[in-house]
Chains A and B, each alone.
Chain A
């Protein structure tokens, strides 16, 4: 009985993890710009990985090494927002404007407005724009 419950719980957790990873992938494809994509990219890490790791902990059984999955989750929760922040901050420093609902510019316009430097040199942060 307990064993069936455990397997059932594992399956539910894995499916939930898969669901949020799927949502995250969908979001990366559907959302318009780098900032909004960064929102959803972190979903795969938080709940996607979170539920998957919970399933792993349950499958390993309590007490043995399952606490290590908690540690894993802890480190994911520290590194994931740091990476998302680094990406969006870099985008901001390159002068990329966040897309808004009333914005009808094309990708090409946005790229030209952002003045992205491609020579690998020091970012100039726009500057010349009126």
Chain B
């Protein structure tokens, strides 16, 4: 079977050169115009920094490095094409910068979307392809891709295949060492006294944990940065506790009130935190404070159920969000405007006329629709990649009316 077009994800692996050669040969076997699209997928850790534009290379490649890699691969492809160069179109793209691809499943969905968008029915995988997404506990990308019927997947043959065990490939001594240290200290903390028996069993169990789980725990080498983050996290805890107590008292008053003055609404907040751990911290903090409950997390956008208007106002004022930003990105990032000022808030269930209407975002009906279209325009403008909302629209049928409108 001949393939006139191929989608090749690249990650800078050792067998890339051969894969490119194979890909070019494959497409040139076909007749007429042929094309190859090389894509680089940014792992989610890339987006942990203050913003996608000013990222520091830590895991994966920076956008510039990725551009260079893609350029190199494109040059190889043109070189391999030889005199058939006129028939070959080489395209390159980077995906994953503005969205959060957590698991191989997300990645597979995204790659298949890419194939549909550009009408390329075949994916060619490098045998050593490692996008840096997922963990050993999740099913690998190859498996996830086979679940899609829309496109065919093929693995490029390569002679220089070095097979190593996954545990050794992926975790560095720093990761193992720091996990050992942390689990050993935790063991001693639980043991309470420094007795030789505890020390010996502590070493044994910490070794088992460190060797077995270091890849699951860390996605990149822990650095001084992580230490300062932990320090700021400790500062964050009292703030969170104060918030919890405040909203607990508020909700207790509402619940014990004879008329039960609640006004539950689903809202959506598009937060300005990036990456897995920060978003998880924020979503968990939102849930911990009674009155707000995170129902769905799609990348950066949180669907939050709010019980009373004042809790909703607090959420839109973004106090917790700002604090989480402080924890992960430092003091500078606290200057980013609150969700309300950014217009990243939206009440998904319209409030009937009686509402306190002071906030423009709270107005029901048409205004809400207009807000939504504006937001999605923003998304399209911000990059050629769509956010998970679009995925959500194609996959799930959502419940609320406004979201239903969004799909059509």
Q: How many A-B residue pairs lie within 8 Å, measured between CB atoms? A: 122
- The secondary-structure label for the interface of chain A is helix
Closest to A114 in B: B399
A35 with B252: CB separation less than 8 A:
no
- A4 interface hit (Cβ, 8 Å): no
The interface-forming segment of B24-32, B262-270, B333-341 is B262-270
- A1 interface hit (Cβ, 8 Å): no
B295 with A88: CB separation less than 8 A:
yes
B192 with A81: CB separation less than 8 A:
no
Given contacts A20-B252, A98-B264, A98-B349, contact A39 B284 (CB under 8 A): no
The interface-forming segment of B36-44, B216-224, B285-293, B379-387 is B285-293
- A6 interface hit (Cβ, 8 Å): no
Partner of A47, one of B248, B284, B303, B395: B248
For residues 224 through 255 of chain B, which have their beta carbon under 8 Å from a beta carbon of chain A? 244-245, 248, 251-252, 255
The smallest beta-carbon distance between A85 and chain B, in angstroms, is 5
The smallest beta-carbon distance between A43 and chain B, in angstroms, is 5
Cβ proximity bits A96-127 to B, threshold 8 Å, 1 near / 0 not: 11111110000000000000000000000111
Name, among A26, A42, A67, the residue most crowded by chain B CB atoms within 10 Å (CB to CB): A42
The smallest beta-carbon distance between B214 and chain A, in angstroms, is 20
Given contacts A39-B307, A92-B296, A98-B265, contact A125 B288 (CB under 8 A): no
Residues from chain A with a CB closer than 8 A to the CB of B256 are: 23, 26
Residues from chain B with a CB closer than 8 A to the CB of A92 are: 295-296, 303, 399
Partner of B290, one of A35, A46, A85, A88: A46
Residues from chain A with a CB closer than 8 A to the CB of B245 are: 47
- B400 interface hit (Cβ, 8 Å): yes
Name, among B244, B287, B293, the residue most crowded by chain A CB atoms within 10 Å (CB to CB): B293
For residues 278 through 308 of chain B, which have their beta carbon under 8 Å from a beta carbon of chain A? 283-288, 290-297, 303, 305, 307
The smallest beta-carbon distance between B362 and chain A, in angstroms, is 14
Cβ proximity bits B43-79 to A, threshold 8 Å, 1 near / 0 not: 0000000000000000000000000000000000000
For residues 71 through 89 of chain A, which have their beta carbon under 8 Å from a beta carbon of chain B? 71, 77-78, 80-82, 84-85, 88-89
- B82 interface hit (Cβ, 8 Å): no
Q: How far is the CA of A95 from the CA of B397 in the complex (A)?
A: 8
Closest to A96 in B: B399
Residues from chain B with a CB closer than 8 A to the CB of A67 are: 189
Residues from chain A with a CB closer than 8 A to the CB of B359 are: none
Closest to A91 in B: B295
Residues from chain A with a CB closer than 8 A to the CB of B260 are: 30-31
B290 with A89: CB separation less than 8 A:
no
Residues from chain A with a CB closer than 8 A to the CB of B399 are: 92, 95-97, 126
Partner of A125, one of B252, B305, B396: B396
The smallest beta-carbon distance between B149 and chain A, in angstroms, is 16
- B166 interface hit (Cβ, 8 Å): no
Residues from chain A with a CB closer than 8 A to the CB of B263 are: 100-101
Partner of B255, one of A31, A32, A91, A101: A31
Q: How far is the CA of A82 from the CA of B290 in the complex (A)?
A: 14
- B405 interface hit (Cβ, 8 Å): no
A81 with B291: CB separation less than 8 A:
no
- B1 interface hit (Cβ, 8 Å): no
- B190 interface hit (Cβ, 8 Å): yes
Closest to A46 in B: B244
Q: How far is the CA of A27 from the CA of B251 in the complex (A)?
A: 9
Q: A27-B251, A42-B288, A125-B396 are in contact. List 6 more A-B contacts (CB 8 A).
A: A26-B255, A39-B290, A43-B290, A95-B397, A96-B399, A125-B395
* 6 pairs of residues in contact across A and B, judged by CB atoms under 8 Å: A20-B252, A27-B251, A39-B251, A40-B290, A92-B303, A126-B397
Q: Which positions in B face A, CB cutoff 8 Å?
A: 189-190, 192, 244-245, 248, 251-252, 255-256, 260, 262-266, 283-288, 290-297, 303, 305, 307, 349, 352, 395-397, 399-400
Q: Which positions in A face B, CB cutoff 8 Å?
A: 19-20, 23, 26-27, 30-33, 35-36, 38-40, 42-43, 46-47, 50, 65, 67-68, 71, 77-78, 80-82, 84-85, 88-89, 91-93, 95-102, 125-127, 129
